Amino acid sequence: MKFSIHAIREYINIRLYDHKEKVINGLRIMSILISLIAFVALIYYHGVKVTAIERIWIARIIRLSLGFYVFKYFLRIFYDFHPRRFLKSTWIEGLLILLIVLNAFSRYAFNYFIISSFGEWLGFKSLDDFLLIFIQVYLLVIVALETGKASHVLPKLNIGPPKLLTFSFLVLVAVGTGLLMLPEMNTSGQMNSFQTALFTSISASCVTGLNTVDVATFYSSKGHLVIMLLIQLGGLNIIAFASVFALFTKNGFGIKHTSLLQQNFNIETLDQTEAMFRKIFSFSLIIEGIGTALLFFSWGDIEFSHLGQRLFYSLFHSISAFNNAGFSLFSDGLASPLLQMPSLQLIIALLIVFGSFGFPALGDLLSISTMRERYQKPWVHLKVQTKIAIYSTVFLILIGATLFFAIERNGVLSDSNYLMQISHCFFQSITARTAGFNTVDFGMLGTSTLLLMILLMFIGANPGSTGGGIKTTTFALVLLSAYSTIRGKDRLEVFKSTIPFDLLNKAVSIFLFSLSLIFLGSFLLSLTDGQIPLDQLVFEQVSAFCTVGLSTGITAQLSTGGQTIIMFSMFIGRIGTLTLAFALSNRRESNDYKYPKTNVMVG
């Protein structure tokens, strides 16, 4: 029996072989067209107020597109030479298709809508539409990856990693701006201004958190959903985008993407790319999922209109905290009296720390395989980068909290009890390193506290993380270099390892590059908005460039020119230092010659 089934299958494969490629290519072309039409229809449906006739036509487009996806999926199974292997490799898409089929069957056989009933249970009347959007976007991405197969296109374009990353952010910002301009994305029901939509899109995509409007009240639930997606894509974009293209361009972009991944992930070869790619998303989804669950049960006396809203608020703040974005669905951030709970602040703080710790360090510290290896081989230790991440994170949190308490114990902390004072101090020390949440009014802080926050914002998070700043390793290498020079040592050593001077030169370049742009931005802000105190302008500029999102409350008061400077600072701050690092790592000049040594006076 097995032999006969195998023989029949082989006979079918032989008969299908001649026209298989034409059918598959035709399906890909049709998938692109149908996906784009359905996606535009859904954006129109959720972005503007539609009439009853338009609603009917959009529903038809969605049903036809979903029917095509089901037909295409089963046809691909039929044409595949190894159906079981195909089902195993496309199990996520298969589950979505199964959900579509079950929902359609229950609708026509029993007049029962599975997805809509689940949405009503959660309190989301439009959850059915939301799930359809998710399916459309998911399948659109699959189609784009299938049709592009960028491995044979990108090498011809000769696009390097810096341009690739910059272009990816430009596309994300452009799409986000277009969506946030739609009338249904804000509570007024009118078209949003380009300036406001662009500022919010850049801030969310660059996981900063600065805003010219009150996000909680200005944008609708649909707008909040768009902002949350921009945060998620922006937080992981530099990391995930590079990994995806490395997977598809091993043959064409091996050397360039090896440099990219070595810089960002501390990976030695592209053989580890897929494993790192999976670790990134597994760590992200697991941590964000745990954070959502913890927040769901930690809102205390805060009232929500329905269960779905409570779940969405938990998910939004978990994603915002882990990606160090600082966006909140509460008008005064986390400084509301209802949110003054140490347990809630602790959850947000832990999400911030995990997000800013860096995926390479998280993998080295928490990966089961690495822990097993260290247990079996006691001589195997943590990597130097992981040690720097641990020591710098603990040191900066402790020193920041201590100084904040010493300066503000009779200031903004004076009205809180001792427990809340400690909670505020540690939270502000953590959030200042690129997270952007606030539990106190930063407009009430003294100049000395603002200077402390500026230093913490400038240092930022660990490399390979969702945070910004010049990164802790950069700051550590610059300090260690100065310390080694004072001690008269001709090499840089840390944790019984020698740091190569080309790495030190890269750190110094990023350090000076960042300082120069912060100074330039502060100077331009003093010209466009000279009526605002200089310390607040500098604080705003550092917060923007280091993608922190903390503000003394002057963002909305800035002129159009000032807001434009802040937007450029957020964008350059998110990709600038990393792009510079990639450019330096990819640039190789001949060192076969050497000029005579000379001396110049320094100091």
Q: What is the pLDDT of residues 257-278, one digit of tens each?
A: 455 555 555 555 545 555 666 6
| Side-chain half-sphere exposure of 244, counting CA atoms within 13 A | 18
229-238, 253-262, 297-306, 520-529: least confidently modelled range: 253-262
What is the share, in percent, of the chain residues with pLDDT greater than 70? 74
* Of the candidates 488, 491, 486, 514, the residue with the CA atom closest to the CA atom of residue 504: 491
Q: Which residues, 6+ apart, have CB-to-CB distance to 362 below 8 Å?
A: 283, 354
Three-state SS sequence of 441-484: CHHHCCHHHHHHHHHHHHHCCCCCCCCCCCCHHHHHHHHHHHHH
The per-residue pLDDT for 146 is 47
Q: Which residues, 6+ apart, have CB-to-CB distance to 224 below 8 Å?
A: 215, 312, 316, 329
Instruction: Calculate mean pLDDT across residues 302-328.
Output: 88
The per-residue pLDDT for 218 is 92
Cβ pair 423, 437 in contact under 8 A: no
CA dist 500 and 488 (Å) reads 17
DSSP conformation class of 51: P
- Could you give the C-alpha distances from 361 to 266, 290, 343, 355, 557, in angstroms and in order? 9, 20, 26, 11, 40
Specify the length of the chain in residues: 603
The per-residue pLDDT for 150 is 45
Indicate the SS3 state at residue 491. Answer: coil
Asked whether the predicted pLDDT for residue 600 surpasses 70, the reply is: no
CA dist 559 and 569 (Å) reads 15
Asked whether the predicted pLDDT for residue 251 surpasses 50, the reply is: no
Structure confidence by residue, pLDDT tens digits, 439-451: 888 878 888 999 9
- Could you give the C-alpha distances from 45 to 60, 122, 189, in angstroms and in order? 12, 22, 14
What is the share, in percent, of the chain residues with pLDDT greater than 90? 22
Left if phi > 0, otherwise alpha if psi is -120 to 50, otherwise beta: which for 533?
beta
The two structure tokens encoding residue 321:
């905290």
Q: Which residues, 6+ apart, have CB-to-CB distance to 556 below 8 Å?
A: 211, 212, 213
* Phi, psi dihedrals of residue 106, rounded to the nearest 5°: -65, -30
Instruction: Calculate mean pLDDT across residues 304-319.
Output: 89
272-286, 290-304, 543-557: least confidently modelled range: 272-286
Within its chain, how far is the Cα of 372 from the centroid? Answer: 30
| Per-residue pLDDT band at 368 (split at 50, 70, 90) | confident
H or E segment to which residue 290 belongs: helix 273-296
H or E segment to which residue 115 belongs: helix 114-122
| Per-residue pLDDT band at 5 (split at 50, 70, 90) | low
* Phi, psi dihedrals of residue 497, rounded to the nearest 5°: -135, 150
Q: Which residue has the higher pLDDT, 97 or 583?
A: 97
CA dist 250 and 152 (Å) reads 10
Cβ pair 348, 311 in contact under 8 A: no
138-152, 278-292, 429-443, 529-543: least confidently modelled range: 138-152
The per-residue pLDDT for 51 is 84
Which residues partner with 494 through β-bridges? 497
Q: Determine the Cα angle at 356 with ends 355 and 360, to 5°.
A: 85
State the average pLDDT for the chain: 77
CA dist 249 and 247 (Å) reads 6
DSSP conformation class of 240: I
Asked whether the predicted pLDDT for residue 458 surpasses 50, the reply is: yes
Asked whether the predicted pLDDT for residue 387 surpasses 60, the reply is: yes
Instruction: Calculate mean pLDDT across residues 558-576.
Output: 90
Asked whether the predicted pLDDT for residue 454 surpasses 90, the reply is: yes
The per-residue pLDDT for 577 is 60
The two structure tokens encoding residue 504:
């030190």
The two structure tokens encoding residue 559:
């002129």
Instruction: Calculate mean pLDDT across residues 358-382.
Output: 74
| Per-residue pLDDT band at 558 (split at 50, 70, 90) | very high
Three-state SS sequence of 292-309: HHHHHCCCCCCCCCCHHH
The four Cα atoms 567, 573, 574, 578 give a dihedral, to 10 degrees, of: 150
Asked whether the predicted pLDDT for residue 244 surpasses 90, the reply is: no
The end-to-end CA distance of the chain, in Å, is 88
CA dist 90 and 94 (Å) reads 6
Cβ pair 462, 361 in contact under 8 A: yes
Q: Which residue has the higher pLDDT, 459 or 339?
A: 459
Asked whether the predicted pLDDT for residue 246 surpasses 50, the reply is: no
The per-residue pLDDT for 250 is 42
| Per-residue pLDDT band at 561 (split at 50, 70, 90) | very high
Please give the model's pTM, rounded to 2 decimal places: 0.82
- Could you give the C-alpha distances from 485 to 141, 239, 489, 491, 578, in angstroms and in order? 52, 35, 6, 9, 27
> In one letter, which amino acid is 174?
A
Q: Which residue has the higher pLDDT, 33 or 90?
A: 33
Which residues partner with 219 through β-bridges? 186
96-110, 198-212, 279-293, 547-561: least confidently modelled range: 96-110
The per-residue pLDDT for 560 is 92
116-120, 166-170, 223-227, 371-375: least confidently modelled range: 116-120
Cβ pair 316, 329 in contact under 8 A: yes
CA dist 262 and 502 (Å) reads 14
Q: Which residue has the higher pLDDT, 563 or 79?
A: 563
* Of the candidates 312, 328, 332, the residue with the CA atom closest to the CA atom of residue 320: 328
Q: Which residue has the higher pLDDT, 336 or 407?
A: 407
* Phi, psi dihedrals of residue 498, rounded to the nearest 5°: -100, 125
Q: Determine the Cα angle at 473 with ends 470 and 477, to 5°.
A: 105
Cβ pair 524, 564 in contact under 8 A: no
Indicate the SS3 state at residue 241. Answer: helix
Q: Which residues, 6+ apart, have CB-to-CB distance to 146 below 8 Å?
A: 28, 31
| Per-residue pLDDT band at 343 (split at 50, 70, 90) | confident
CA dist 360 and 369 (Å) reads 14
Relative orientation angle of helices 342-357 and 359-366, to the nearest 10 degrees: 100
| Domain ranges within the chain, ordered by starting residue | 1-148
- Could you give the C-alpha distances from 397 to 176, 346, 379, 460, in angstroms and in order? 34, 13, 30, 11
